[in-house]
Amino acid sequence: MTRHGSGLRDRTAIAGVGWTEYSRNSGVSTLTLALRAVTAALDDAGLRLSDVDGVACHRVGDSVQAVLVAQALGVEDLRYHLDMFGGGGTSHQVVAHAAMAVASGMAETVVCWRAVNARSEFRMGGTGRPAPDALEFQYQLPYGYATPPQQYAMLARAWMHARGATSEDLGRVAVTQREHALLSPRAMMRRSLTMDDYLAARFIAEPLRLNDCCLETDAAVAVVVTSAERARALAKPPVLIAGAATGGGHTLFSNGRADPTVSAAADLAPRLYAAAGIGPDDIDIAELYDAFTFLVPLQLEDYGLVTRGETGGFYADGHAGLKGRLPVNTHGGHLSEGYVHGLNHVAEAASQLRGEAGDRQVPGATVALTTGQPGYVGGTSSALILRREESA
């Protein structure tokens, strides 16, 4: 019997991944970054530019249009095109849409990317440009309540209060991910982080300290999506897209979601697991969207990976480390590797499942959960479950 939501299961795969350097000043345009990441991903898959017939990205007025990337790649007959407006909550939705395009026959080879000069050019929450078009922003601005750290700080405080979480609980997330980042050749943060370092850092917006906040990064990441059958004949082992789901959320101001300490991921998770035909206990590694530290334990709860209120002990006992029960953000995440708005989590999951993560490789990892922002502020969320071919 076909289970509801299983139509995409294992029909498509990530066949290639590519990155640019992660830096604070790329010195090039977002178009150049996108093209570098895309060509690297195609090279990784053993494909040519002429194989591309679909393009997909997300952006928030901070990057190059998808059609311009297609033209620069020389795509003459563009069969599929997605240029999605949205932040990190849409990051995994882009890959899901590419998978749907391939599975439906609309396209054969779709490249998904995110390219940003998020430090040297377009700093999220910065000044000097028009205000967001969200209606409620007019009610925030008179109080100076405008930036992502301010918005998420209120959520973090509510979550900490509800769970009895401490600053040290958040600090363990930052410290653990820094340990992982030190094993990644791409990571921007190259110095170890102790709990004392974490607690001594300045507040950005209480309760969020400096190391609770993601990096500002100039970089691009790309993944190639094609059919599972075709991927098996390419250069690298295919990483099957076992399940994909998107969900709603709330903008903090205009939605009546009753409990802000439970995200839209809690609604999305059952559909995601059903689509992949597995449960939370089957997940080997988790790459969880981490614009701010508290989002990681919150998602561990909302995706059913850790019992609510027990994430502090989960981290204190080392279960999120590379040798732990469930390694989390094995690349260092947005906090310590770099902020490429969600897609670097997909690329890391694929690298882990292909056994190509080097010193940070999790032995025997066959199933990965990778997530976008869990529905706050932007009002949407998305996630994927990826699977190594041998486990099919």
Which residues are tagged catalytic? 289, 339
Query: Which secondary structure element, helix H or strand E, spans residue 274, and what is its range?
Result: helix 265-276
The number of beta carbons lying within 10 Å of the beta carbon of residue 136 is: 13
161 touches 303 (CB < 8 A)? no
Short-list 275, 297, 277, CA closest to 286: 297
Here the tokens at position 202 are 């300045």
**Which of 279, 249, 345, 239 lies closest to 3, judged by CA?**
279
Q: b vs e for 280-319, b when ≥16 Cβ sit within 10 Å of the residue's Cβ?
A: eebbbbbbbbbbbbbbbbbbbbbbbbbebeebbebbeeeb
H-helix or E-strand spanning residue 296 = helix 295-302
Residue 236: phi, psi to the nearest 5?
-120, 155
Under 8 Å between Cβ of 326 and 320: yes
| Spatial distance between the Cα atoms of 382 and 88, rounded to a whole number of angstroms | 9
CA dihedral sign of residues 275, 296, 326, 367: positive
Query: How far is the C-alpha of 57 from the C-alpha of 41, rounded, in Å?
Result: 14
Torsion angle in degrees (nearest 10) through CA of 214, 208, 262, 181: 30
User: For residues 319 and 306, what is the distance between their CA atoms, to the nearest angstrom?
Assistant: 10
Whether the Cβ atoms of residue 303 and residue 268 lie closer than 8 Å to each other: no
